[in-house]
Chain A
Amino acid sequence: MKKFKKAADNISEYASRGYEALSDDELFSSAEYRPEALEHLSNAGYSYWRSSLRIYLKNRTAMFFLCLIAITLFFTFIQPYLQNQKDPVRIYNDASGIQIRNRQPDSEFVFGTNAIGQDLWSRTWSGTRTSLFIGFTVACVEAFIGVFIGILWGYTRKLDFFFTEIYNIFDNIPQTLVLILISYVLRPSLKTIIFALCLTGWLTTARYIRNQVLIIRDRDYNLASRCLGTPARLIILRNLLPFLVSVITMRMAMAIPYAISNEVFVTYIGLGLPLNIPSLGNLIVSGIDKMMEPNLRYQLIFPTIVLSVVTVSFYIIGNAFADASDPKNHVV
């Protein structure tokens, strides 16, 4: 036993030092036969998460956007608690009691005021919060339903036919249409938008998950687990889910910009949130009314900049993460 351990140490020493470290004599002398060495398993220190992280960290663009979005998110959430912040829905009057309409950006109103005298700075951040709330909620619901159905679909052989047919039928329905119809029939509100977006989004997630599950479920170690009598619940939780994390995260990162643009879309066609709930959608749509007057364009430009930063960041982070977590890109 002791001898075996020593041999294994030797091997790992070679591996860690690399062959360059060996002298020529050592390299070209014939090796002695060691049966224990045949048993030695080398995984070259591979760890899925470490490799993913390493590849991700190497991607400078993605890191830049990760920092950018982290700062934006942080700021969005602490903004109401900062000093001297204004109320997003209050109408501000000047000393003589007249509304401060269309004030250009200055030190008091950083992003200026809108046509009825509301502070655009606080409205923009409040709107970003609303839009992010929609985005995150939709992403979470999509991930939850998608993973649940996807695992059921991929893991249970008997349900495969049923779910595949259902998928093939429902996948043909244009998502925009569902969004329009639901928003048209129900009263425009946060719930309506979230509901309409959740209704269709999980289909794609479920398919991605199902494909992954099908690939992984019959690998040898899962077969071994099943033979040893591991309950299906544990196989799914311990053996399958860790492999799905990358797909789930990628889908969630992509769902957020998608949800945010859809919110802008329904607002644009007149089915969006009421004006007393600021959102990026209705800020942009009310900014559109002002776009013909060049000196009032700030009302459109500020919200769109924030919106673009958020959507582009999530898009790039999602893609970079998907690349990084793809084991094909992991060089051992």
Chain B
Amino acid sequence: MESGLDTSAVGSAISLRMARGRRIPAAFISRRPARGITMTAYIIKRILRSIITLFLIITAVFFLLRLMPIEGYFNNYEKMSPTQVRVGLANLGLNKPVHIQLFTFLKGILGGDLGVSNRYRVKYPIIRLIASKMPLSVEIGIMAVCLGLTAGVPLGILMARSARGRGRFKLWDKFGTAIVVLVEAIPASVYYLFIQIYGTELINKFIPLPMLFDESKAITWALPVFSLSLGTMAWCAMWIRRYMADESTKDYVMLARAKGVPPSVIFRRHIFRNAFVPVVQGLPSMLLLTLVGSLYVESRYSIPGMGGLLVDVIKRQDNTVVQALVLVYSAVSILGLLLGDIAMALLDPRIRLAGKGETR
């Protein structure tokens, strides 16, 4: 990558956004000098963009719905006569003109009404379904994020230190890189499985552990939380190491060293603080995504949460619930990215300076 990392408000916020799988924040040159762009304007713009995205998704989901198989609207489609199907569709309001349907649909969403389930639990309001599933997902998710951060940040620091250190073998760096590569490259579905199989067997040697999740038994929380934390951990370690390695060769660090600032202070006050800022950007997404839980982990361990619910309703072809969950999922991801970008814009001093003058 070229190092033309630009520091205008818009440019940096975009270039530094990190999604898993993106290797390096690409250099992003803004289309004009950032002179006129103030923080408020940027935030307003960013919010508007998110709203447009969300609206696009809602509309797309709505139109895709028209393509879905209609048996997904009924509990016992096989036994119904064509007339019954027609009446049923009319009851659901699906025979009206498309624009009216879209309008009702949007109105329902704004009023917090996501419709009712037709197959998963007949005539049960989806919003209540979600409300009953969400807390558990959030609990497990938050625990996993905390575990991931507490393991990932020190690992990243150790990696960066050993990479720059005098040790010949750079053991920590190699060890950490191996973990990061394995977690990033091997599909989560596969390593989650192996953790479930061998983790259960291993723990079983000491204490009896059922393979599936049981909310009342604390020990059954261990493996799901551990599996979920791996992604966060690898992600954190990777970015902290990369940014710290980048920061530690910068001029201001050299200057501090030349002034005689003790290495531990340089490390804590300069390198780590600057390297941590970009990681903060990912935090809102991480926390918010715990709302929707993890598809794999929840369905593997039969955890009655949101992620398992999505897999269930897809398998049972319950159109309305799939649609509602897709909307919740996208709203949450969009909000996460939005908050991340705003946090980034507020935290990063380089961005704050950008409004004042020429940046390139």
A214 and B185 contacting across the interface, CB-CB below 8 Å: no
If A170-B53, A174-B333 touch, whether A291 touches B193 (CB-CB below 8 Å) is yes
Are B53 and A265 neighbours in the complex by a CB distance under 8 Å? no
Query: What DSSP secondary structure best describes chain B's contact surface?
Result: helix
Stretch at the interface among B23-31, B76-84, B90-98: B23-31
Which of B1-9, B123-131, B132-140 is the interface stretch? B1-9
Q: State the CA gap A300–B192 with chains docked (Å).
A: 13
Q: Which residue of A lies closest to B187 (CB)?
A: A261
Counting CB contacts under 8 A, is B329 at the interface?
yes
One of A161, A214, A328 near B29 (C-beta < 8 A):
A214
For the complex formed, measure the closest distance between the CB of B119 and the CB atoms of chain A, giving whole angstroms: 14
Alpha-carbon distance between A259 and B194 when the two chains are bound, in angstroms: 21
Q: How large is the interface on A (under 10, 10 to 19, 20 to 34, 35 or more residues)?
A: 35 or more
Residues of A191-221 contacting chain B, CB below 8 A: 204, 207-208, 211-212, 214-215
B22 in contact (CB, < 8 A): yes
Contact check, A261 vs B188: say whether CB atoms are below 8 A apart: yes
Query: In chain A, what residue has the closest Cβ to B182?
Result: A312
Q: Which of B60, B197, B295, B322 sits near A297, CB closer than 8 Å?
A: B197
Does A55 sit at the interface, judged by CB under 8 A? no
Residues in B with CB closer than 8 Å to A322 are 1, 23-24
- Residues from chain B with a CB closer than 8 A to the CB of A258 are 21
Closest to B296 in A: A268
Please name all residues of chain A whose beta carbon is closer than 8 Å to the beta carbon of B57 when the two chains form the complex. 173, 177
Inter-chain contacts of B181 with A (CB < 8 A): 312, 315-316
Q: Smallest distance from the beta carbon of B329 to chain A beta carbons, Å?
A: 6
A248 CB-CB contact with B under 8 Å: no
Indicate which residue in A169, A177, A271 contacts B326 across the interface (CB closer than 8 Å): A177
| A214 to B2 CA separation, bound complex (whole angstroms) | 11
By the criterion CB–CB under 8 Å, are B49 and A207 in contact?
A: no
Contact present for B52 and A169 (CB under 8 Å): yes
Q: Is A252 an interface residue (CB 8 A)?
A: no
Which residue in chain A gives the minimum CB-CB distance to B68? A185
Given contacts A161-B31, A204-B22, A207-B26, contact A172 B188 (CB under 8 A): no
A244-273, CB < 8 A from B? 250, 254, 257-258, 260-261, 264-265, 268-271
Give the number of residue pairs across the A-B interface with Cβ within 8 Å.
124
Evaluate contact between A269 and B295: CB separation under 8 angstroms. Answer: yes
**Does A284 interact with chain B (Cβ within 8 Å)?**
yes
Checking B60, B314, B329, B333 against A271 with a beta-carbon cut-off of 8 angstroms, the contacting residue is B314
- Closest CB-CB distance, A279 to chain B, in whole Å? 13
- Residue of chain A at shortest CB distance from B289: A174
A202 nearest CB across to chain B (Å): 14
A299-324 to B contact mask, C-beta < 8 Å, 1/0: 01000100110011011100100100
A257 to B183, CA, bound (A): 12
CA distance A211 to B29 in the complex (A): 7
Report the minimum CB–CB distance from A189 to chain B (whole Å).
15
Q: How far is the CB of A236 from chain B (nearest CB, A)?
A: 18
A37 within 8 A of B: no
Tell me the complex Cα distance, A168–B53, Å.
9
A288 within 8 A of B: yes
The answer to whether A304 and B31 touch across the interface, beta carbons within 8 angstroms, is no
CA distance A215 to B57 in the complex (A): 33
Q: How many Å lie between the Cα of A291 and that of B2 in the bound state?
A: 47
* Total number of B residues with any Cβ neighbor in A under 8 Å: 51
Q: Give the nearest-CB partner of A326 in chain B.
A: B1
Q: Is B163 an interface residue (CB 8 A)?
A: no
CB A12 to nearest CB in B, in angstroms, measures 31
Q: Which of B48-65 contact A (CB under 8 A)?
A: 49-50, 52-53, 56-57, 60-61, 64
CB of A181 within 8 A of CB of B61, answer yes
Could you tell me if A180 and B186 are in contact, using CB atoms closer than 8 angstroms? no
**Also in contact, A181 and B27, with CB within 8 A (given A269-B311, A270-B311):** no
List chain B residues, Cβ under 8 A from A9: none
- Return chain A residues, CB-CB under 8 Å to B3: 328
Q: Are B14 and A168 in contact (CB under 8 A)?
A: yes
- Asked if A308 and B186 make an inter-chain contact with CB atoms under 8 angstroms apart, the answer reads yes
Nearest A residue to B52 via CB reads A169
Q: What is the distance, in angstroms, from B194's C-beta to the closest C-beta of chain A? A: 8
Is A36 in the interface zone, CB < 8 Å from B?
Answer: no
Q: Which one of A174, A211, A254, A260 contacts B2 once the chains associate, using CB atoms below 8 Å?
A: A211
Report yes or no: B29 in contact with A215, Cβ–Cβ below 8 A.
yes
The B-contacting residues of A in range 67-92, CB under 8 angstroms, are none
- Expressed in whole angstroms, the Cα–Cα distance for A324 and B42 within the complex equals 36
A4 at interface, CB cutoff 8 A: no
Whether the pair B2, A172 counts as a contact (CB closer than 8 A) is: no
Q: Would A254 and B21 be within 8 Å (CB), given that A215-B2, A308-B190, A315-B185 are in contact?
A: yes
| Contact residues in B for A260 (Cβ distance below 8 Å) | 187
**Distance of A288 Cα from B189 Cα, bound (Å):** 10
- In the complex, B259 has a CB within 8 A of chain A: no
Cβ of B38 under 8 Å from chain A:
no
- Additional 10 contacts, C-beta under 8 A, given A172-B53, A184-B314, A211-B2: A169-B56, A180-B314, A180-B326, A184-B68, A211-B29, A215-B29, A304-B193, A308-B185, A311-B187, A314-B185
Interface residues of A (CB under 8 A from B): 160-161, 164-165, 168-170, 172-174, 177, 180-181, 184-186, 204, 207-208, 211-212, 214-215, 250, 254, 257-258, 260-261, 264-265, 268-271, 284, 288, 291-292, 297, 300, 304, 307-308, 311-312, 314-316, 319, 322, 326, 328
Interface pairs (5), CB distance under 8 Å: A160-B31, A211-B29, A258-B21, A269-B315, A315-B181
Top 9 A-B pairs, shortest CB-CB distance: A261-B187, A315-B185, A172-B53, A174-B333, A312-B185, A270-B315, A311-B185, A264-B187, A211-B26
